[in-house]
Amino acid sequence: MTLLSFGIALVAFTVLGPVVGCLLTGIDRIISARMQGRVGPPLLQPYYDVVKLLAKEKRSLNGVQGYYLVIALLMAIVSGALFFAGGNLLLVVFLIGLSTLLFIVAAYSTRSPYAEIGAQREIIQVLAYEPMIILMSVFFFYATGSFNTSAVFELSLPLIVLIPLIFAGFLFVITIKLRKSPFDLSFSHHGHQELVKGITTEMSGGNLAIVEITHWYENVLFLGYAGLFFVWGGPLTLIVAVVVALAVYFLEIVIDNTYARVKWQPMLRWSWIVTLVCTLASMAIFTVLTVLSV
């Protein structure tokens, strides 16, 4: 990755990230409505919602909440640009984790009991999915010999063939990060599920719009993670990656509309079990293959 490629990726992701994220959210709402026997909103309804929020008068309990959210948004943009520029995957994971941490701090800064409960649940969600995401980066290094995402173009086989169990574990925890049922514990995009809006209880107007836009960027980034497992050899395989990413998102929509929300204990337990099984099995496979190659 060069400085020029990062600059191009930064501009492209800054502009195209929210566009793609908005369209994905609109498609999510339409498909969810059809599955529930409703007509649903128009495709661009998420865009209209954000514009309406930006037009509202800014209200917050303190002046620092907005700064935390803006920096969280910037971290999400930088992490996405670094990922799509072919940069260090481990650094991308830490940057998007920092974005989530700032989001949590923004909720705690309000001193609202409802927001603090949402922030506590967000921390539990991070503890549930973050080990799998970090270990995915480690096994990416084992498979490619580099942490740079551009290394997949030098592979003769896609990562899904080399580390299939890591992809399976990632598919399990991505449901948490995309805030889909049954693991949408800190706050839900479905208004009927909560009387109080979880971690975003004390966020309104422009601040709430920033939260939504950040979520759009995160959706695109994490679907990029899924597509990374299906890129190899050359840029033409990017088409396969895009198709797989869309299929993964459709699967998450189906799961979201099929399963009811669970408590945090099963989420944490299942996530750690899946992470442990997938990583230990993958380590055993790598060890056997190394011995056989020697």
pLDDT tens string 201-243: 888 888 899 999 999 999 999 999 999 999 998 888 999 999 9
pLDDT score for 194: 53
Residues 83, 77: Cα–Cα separation, whole Å: 10
Other C-beta atoms within 10 Å of 162: how many? 22
Q: Enter the pTM of the model.
A: 0.93
- What is d(CA 212, CA 22) in angstroms, rounded to the nearest whole number? 9
Rounded CA gap, 226 and 291, in Å?
Answer: 29
| Residue ranges for the chain with pLDDT beneath 70 | 1, 188-196, 293-294
Other beta carbons less than 10 A from residue 78's beta carbon: 22
pLDDT value of position 191: 53
Rg value, the chain, Cα: 19
**Residue 30, CA atoms < 13 Å, CB-side half-sphere:** 11
Prior bond of 164 cis (ω within 30°): no
pLDDT at 196: 58
Secondary structure of 36-89 as H, E, C letters: CCCCCCCCCHHHHHHHHHHHCCCCCCCCHHHHHHHHHHHHHHHHHHHHHCCCEH
Angstrom distance (rounded) from CA 109 to CA 252: 32
